[in-house]
Amino acid sequence: MRRAGFGGNPIWMARLLCAAALILLFGIEGSLIIRLPVAGILIAASIFTGSRGPLLVTAVVIVLALLMKASLARDRESAGASLVLVGLLMVGAGVGLAGLRIVAEQQAATNARSPFVRVFYGGESAQSSSSARVDLYETSLAVFGENPMLGAGLGGLVGEFEESENIYSHNLLLEIASETGLVGLLIHLVTVLLTVLLVIRYLHSPDAQVRQDLEIGLLMLIFCYANAQLSGDLVGNKMVWFFLGFINGTLPAWRSSPDNARVAVHRRRRPQMLSRITGKQ
């Protein structure tokens, strides 16, 4: 049986476990001897939810994070080490997944409903879920084709399926395109793109705390945004909107740095000092 939490939603459980693992790996400082095993336990725990999307996205984000560290490295040795680590990680992941699939295939004969089997082998439940998503993607594209500029309106997919009222694309970009058209999609993409470009620019902030906050924000935004292309709807992918706001709220912290604040204070106090010297109030 799939393990669930937070209202009985296994996908949310998997997302939060994987997000915590990523923050442990890349978002905080400390001994890798402690961080690696704990992150591994969190990722392993997410397997029991039977949710494949967050695990796949976690693997992609880990590779992207290592490549980003290589590009931001100050010397060639650090960049080379990160690239070598990416290569070793991909080879190890490939071999590990092949072995896990063999084990899952053997276990499928005795317990086809096991979350382990669902993640690494598939089965009827996983295939049904994938097939339903493909149908939703095709329907979303069809609705977008009928209303390319402004879309069908929020909740526009409901009319395409009579058997359910809770219908959405299970892909954030397709949902925005089908419900708000090119206008809404363009506004969304420009907002996300500008946010990411600003973060990359400010990753060289002299303030270590601001730099760390932005790194965590960017890491989580990439993770949540990739997840949003596999499941959830416009409202349900609240983690995307949270980290967009988190990043945009953190960016001004560097622009109003402590040095600027001290200059401002000094300028405000200067008239008071002059009045004391001249004796004028």
**Which pLDDT band holds residue 270 (cuts at 50, 70, 90)?**
very low
Total Cβ atoms within 10 A of residue 127 = 11
pLDDT of residue 222: 93
The per-residue DSSP string of 40-56 comes to HHHHHHHHTTT-HHHHH
pLDDT tens per residue across span 175-226: 999 999 999 999 999 999 999 988 888 877 777 788 888 889 999 999 999 9
Residue range 141-150: average pLDDT? Answer: 89
For residues 33 and 79, which has the higher predicted lDDT (pLDDT)?
33
Q: CA 178 to CA 172: how far, in whole Å?
A: 10
Q: Which of 166, 173, 160, 254 is nearest to 207 (CA)?
A: 254
Cβ–Cβ under 8 Å, residues 11 and 54 = yes
pLDDT of residue 124: 67
Greatest mean pLDDT among 83-87, 209-213, 224-228, 261-265: 224-228
pLDDT tens per residue across span 41-78: 999 889 888 888 899 999 889 888 888 777 766 667 77
Q: CA 66 to CA 88: how far, in whole Å?
A: 12
Q: Which of 158, 241, 159, 164 is nearest to 195 (CA)?
A: 241
The 3-class secondary structure across 63-124, one letter per residue, is HHHHHHHHHHCCCHHHHHHHHHHHHHHHHHHHHHHHHHHHHHHHHHCCCCCCHHHHHHCCCH
**Which pLDDT band holds residue 149 (cuts at 50, 70, 90)?**
very high
Range with lowest mean pLDDT among 54-68, 246-260, 265-279: 265-279
**Which pLDDT band holds residue 273 (cuts at 50, 70, 90)?**
very low
Q: CA 21 to CA 37: how far, in whole Å?
A: 10
pLDDT of residue 163: 56
Residue range 140-167: average pLDDT? Answer: 76
Cβ–Cβ under 8 Å, residues 108 and 122 = no
Residue range 141-170: average pLDDT? Answer: 76
pLDDT of residue 253: 55
Q: Where are the domains of the chain?
A: 1-122
3-state secondary structure of 264: helix
Query: At residue 280, does pLDDT exceed 60?
Result: no
Cα angle: 178, vertex 184, 186; to 5 degrees:
110
Cβ–Cβ under 8 Å, residues 209 and 217 = no
Cβ–Cβ under 8 Å, residues 43 and 21 = yes
Query: At residue 262, does pLDDT exceed 60?
Result: no
End-to-end CA distance of the chain: 78
Q: Which of 205, 203, 198 is nearest to 244 (CA)?
A: 198
Query: At residue 269, does pLDDT exceed 50?
Result: no
State the pTM of this model: 0.79
pLDDT of residue 240: 93
Q: CA 83 to CA 89: how far, in whole Å?
A: 10
Q: Which of 237, 204, 202 is nearest to 223 (CA)?
A: 237
For residues 154 and 59, which has the higher predicted lDDT (pLDDT)?
59
